[in-house]
Homo-oligomer: A and B are copies of this chain.
Amino acid sequence: MQPDYRFNYSLDTTQKANKLGQKPLLIWITGLSASGKSTLANELDLLFFNNGYKSVVLDGDTLRKGTNSDLGFAETDRTENIRRTAEISKLFLQSGMIVLAPLISPNKIDREMVKNIVGEEYFFMVFLDIDIKICESRDPKGLYAKARRGEIQDFTGIHQQYEKPIDANLTFKDDFNISDAAMTIFNEYKRLL
């Protein structure tokens, strides 16, 4: 057989997902800083893993150290950060994976962009609707304190508005329990299969 240099075949999402035996889904977790997004994403990752599903956490903070290390925190950079995270999510979805993406993503327009990039059927939004006073009282990285002192600009909830989603698939309130929330999302995922 001679080499065929026309790029005319490749495996599609369905074939890869079928092989993994699961439905690819982007679970986008939005909420204020210190609302529990990354903790929930990791709890979910563990839950999926222990139940034989293949998932990946695309954490906003982690991506900023790698793929998105050229970006800052100005409005346009934050949008670009979200756009690239959505595009990377799409690559994982095309491989049949479940993607867990904890990002503040304060703007409705950016969350809409994510949905458009990956496709509505692959998009599942979880909103951690936690009062800013609670988030600020936790402040594990001291970011709220820095923002109040003016050492950080563009901080969501202080300098920048957080636009609460009204179309989230699931919303958790102030006193939610991480393990229970993870289990609720996991059960919802299985209902979608």
| CB neighbours of A4 from chain B (8 A) | 39, 178
Q: Whole-angstrom distance from the CB of A7 to the nearest CB of chain B?
A: 5
Judging by beta carbons under 8 Å apart, are A5 and B67 in contact?
no
Q: Whole-angstrom distance from the CB of A9 to the nearest CB of chain B?
A: 6
Which stretch, A23-31, A83-91, A149-157, touches the partner chain B? A83-91
Copies of chain A in the complex = 2
Contact with B along A1-25 (1 / 0, CB 8 A): 1111111011100011001100000
- A43-86, CB < 8 A from B: 45-46, 49, 52, 54, 56-58, 66-67, 69-70, 80, 84
Residue in B46, B66, B91, B140 whose CB lies within 8 Å of A11: B46
Alpha-carbon gap, A20 to B56, bound state (A): 13
Q: Whole-angstrom distance from the CB of A183 to the nearest CB of chain B?
A: 12
Q: Whole-angstrom distance from the CB of A53 to the nearest CB of chain B?
A: 10
Judging by beta carbons under 8 Å apart, are B49 and A16 in contact?
yes
| CB neighbours of A52 from chain B (8 A) | 19
Contact with B along A85-112 (1 / 0, CB 8 A): 0011011101101000000000000000
